Amino acid sequence: MSPLPSVDAVLRLLEAGSICDDYGRAALTDAVRAVLAEYRAQNSGVRPEEAEVLDEAAALLAAQSTPRLARVFNLTGTVLHTNLGRALLSEAAVEHAAMAMRSPCALEFDLATAGRGDRDTIVEGLLCELTGAEAATVVNNNAAAVLLALAALAAKREVVVSRGELVEIGGAFRVPDVMRAANVRLVEVGTTNRTHARDYESAIGPRTAALMKVHASNYTITGFTADVGEAEVAAIALAHGLPFITDLGAGSLIDLPALGLPKEPVVRDCLSAGADVVTFSGDKLMGGPQAGLIVGRKDLIAKIRKHPLKRALRVSKMTLAALEATLLAYRKPDFLTRDLPTLRLLTRPVAELEALAGRLVPKVQDWLGDAWTIAATHCNSQAGSGSLPSAAIPSVALALRPAGKSGKALNDLATRLRKLPVPVIGRIGDGALLLDLRCLEDEAGFLAQLA
């Protein structure tokens, strides 16, 4: 059996020069060694040419430098898809975050006095203005916001929550688990479907630290139900001198029905109903970066800010910059559905999607050939991430159906779409692969891949 080419012989090839220019000599040497080691391990007696080894090394280097975090087309119909990164940021937010990444910025620096500043103040004023709160602070996500609020306001004591609100959100966030992690004793009141004011009243004792409501984001209870509203829980909390915390989840900053969307609790309304502290996500309906916003009473926010966990959960300058630009967009309400992608996508008219489908059907048909029938079909999108849970948002999809009946054909096509340069993610339903067009804004980019 002839020996494998030597590393030196491969590196001496003329073409090795340009690969070294791209990746450096050390990386290329390692890649050549790895390719040769693979041949050796297979022990098949194959003796590749030097050029072949170099090609394989170049391919290995190219694969290794491709980021894992790939851009995709979200054609799932779920606008805020947690696994696909939730809210898309506005151009202004992208620009502002890029500024914070490229340049030094006054993150914790008071430009008026040259003294030390607090990063919270960058967005606190805007958050207060937009929600009516007295004070505000920011952490990495809403799960962190709930954890921190509980740890700061109720550690080693009890928090009263309705059994109907002990929800699990997206697998890892379960209210009882977060309570335990915050070293808070959970006192469950009422039943799954019905909780009354007297249930809260009778659970309050000397060890009670707070009353809490959790927005049942991702499900609805219907039928024989009773729920104690914000204002009523607030009154009970006030009568006992206890803080009232609300985890609002998606928490919108504006009235969504005014945009033709279903109702979702508004942070300002929650505070005016009497909540003392409200937590919500930055990357759900608000349409900003991943963040947990905590707004409410000044004394309670001050306590939250002083807790050591706040330092551990604080946000980066990129997050703060993106958050600030997102909040600034709310100062121009007339343009929200133009400037914030989340609200733009959620309110995109069906007629626009029908026209888009009309343009795409023949092109996708050409790409797939006669083995498939492509049709535009009406379907429902959803907001996702536990926001607007029972609301179906009318949309239009391309339905891709194999000529023969085969579930395997659908799965194979889904795989093929995921292997495109910019993977296309749809959903399988009704014997078809559905590509919901609500979130397809880059029509040219999508079509270019089918060429």
Q: Rounded to whole angstroms, what are the CA distances from 115 to 104, 188, 230, 336?
A: 16, 47, 41, 35
Residues 230-259: x where in contact with ligand PLP by CB under 6 A, - otherwise, as a string: -----------------x-xx---------
Binding to ligand PLP (CB under 6 A) within 169-198 occurs at: 169, 173
Counting contacts by CB under 6 A, is residue 287 touching ligand PLP? no
Sign of the torsion formed by the C-alpha atoms of 306, 310, 311 and 316: negative
CA distance 328 to 331: 5
Binding to ligand PLP (CB under 6 A) within 289-318 occurs at: 292
308 Cβ contact partners less than 8 Å away, ≥ 6 residues apart: none
Give least dist CB 342 to ligand PLP, A: 14
Question: Which amino acid makes up residue 323?
Answer: L
Counting contacts by CB under 6 A, is residue 281 touching ligand PLP? yes
Counting contacts by CB under 6 A, is residue 78 touching ligand PLP? no
| Residue 88 near residue 342 (C-beta atoms within 8 A) | yes
Counting contacts by CB under 6 A, is residue 382 touching ligand PLP? no
Closest to ligand PLP by CB, 215 vs 438, is 215
Give least dist CB 245 to ligand PLP, A: 12
Give least dist CB 169 to ligand PLP, A: 4
Give least dist CB 141 to ligand PLP, A: 3
Closest to ligand PLP by CB, 143 vs 211, is 143
227 Cβ contact partners less than 8 Å away, ≥ 6 residues apart: 162, 164, 194, 195, 221
Q: How many CA atoms are closer than 13 Å to the CA of 401, on its beta-carbon side? A: 14
As a three-state string, the secondary structure of 183-196 is CCEEEEECCCCECC
Counting contacts by CB under 6 A, is residue 141 touching ligand PLP? yes
Count of residues binding ligand PLP (CB under 6 A)? 15
Binding to ligand PLP (CB under 6 A) within 333-372 occurs at: none
Q: Which of 75, 143, 270, 277 binds ligand PLP (CB under 6 A)?
A: 143
CA distance 402 to 304: 57
Binding site for ligand PLP (CB under 6 A): 141-143, 169, 173, 214-215, 217, 247, 249-250, 281, 292, 385-386
